[in-house]
Amino acid sequence: MDSAEMQAEAVRQENITRILDAAERLFKHYGYSKTTVADIAKDLGMSPANIYRFFSSKSEIHRALADRLLNSGRAVALENAARPVSAAERIRDHFLQQHAITVETLLHENKVHEMVIVAIQEQWSVIEDHIMQMRAIVAGIIREGIVAGEFRAQDADAAAECLCDSTVTLCHPQIIAECLIENRRTTPADLVDFAIRALK
């Protein structure tokens, strides 16, 4: 790629970022369903046709925003997985961190929660890809725990799947929303500690 192509790509990425930033701001303020591509274009001082040069639809903008949001959660997970502490501590912190991100980012902002629900209902590939990547991160930590003698010998991938399934109430936005209403005796930490004991 020559310098002219690199510059053109940089401009393209800058425009995409501007569109996504404006869309996120409007979705959070007015809600996903009430915001149109024309609203996003108006906020940016451009025509809707210019938006369509980068995204074919509002749904595609939404998908890109979901991917960006999920990427930030994965970045936290990868940073935690690389910490020089025990595997059990990293597993524990992984689920508690993801729970906190979901509660603070998705549920305390109702309009963001609406965006997530739409994404889950439409079963986008970005959601499935995120789940698989997060499961792989957990499997990697479990594998390291097995090698270190913290966890018993077992199939790390199967253990990660079981662990993620058993703690889904900590990371799934819709389930968390329902659980917050209920008067529960156990805490997220109780659930994670119970699950970790199954690995030992």
pLDDT at 173 over 70: no
27 falls in which pLDDT band (50, 70, 90)? confident
Delineate the domains of the chain, giving CATH numbers in brackets: 1-56 (1.10.10.60), 58-199 (1.10.357)
pLDDT at 1 over 70: no
Q: Average model confidence (pLDDT) for the chain? A: 86
User: In the chain, at which residue ranges do the beta strands (DSSP E only) sit?
Assistant: none
Identify which of 200, 168, 171, 10 has the alpha carbon closest to the alpha carbon of residue 77: 171
Tokens of 128: 């499935």
182 falls in which pLDDT band (50, 70, 90)? low
Q: What is the distance between the alpha carbons of residues 33 and 53, in angstroms, rounded to a whole number?
A: 22
176 falls in which pLDDT band (50, 70, 90)? low
The answer to whether the CB of 21 falls within 8 A of the CB of 61 is no
When pLDDT is averaged across residues 28-52 and rounded to a whole number, the result is: 91
The answer to whether the CB of 116 falls within 8 A of the CB of 173 is yes
Alpha-carbon Rg for the chain in angstroms: 20
pLDDT digits (tens, 9 = 90+) for 59-74: 899 888 888 888 888 9
Q: What was the pLDDT predicted at 140?
A: 98
Q: What was the pLDDT predicted at 114?
A: 67
Q: How many CA atoms lie within 13 A of 80 on its CB side?
A: 22
Tokens of 136: 């792989």
The sign one gets for the Cα dihedral 150, 153, 156, 159 is negative
pLDDT digits (tens, 9 = 90+) for 74-132: 999 999 999 999 999 999 999 999 988 888 776 556 656 666 667 667 667 888 888 89
Q: What's the whole-model pTM score?
A: 0.80
Q: What is the distance between the alpha carbons of residues 98 and 167, in angstroms, rounded to a whole number?
A: 11
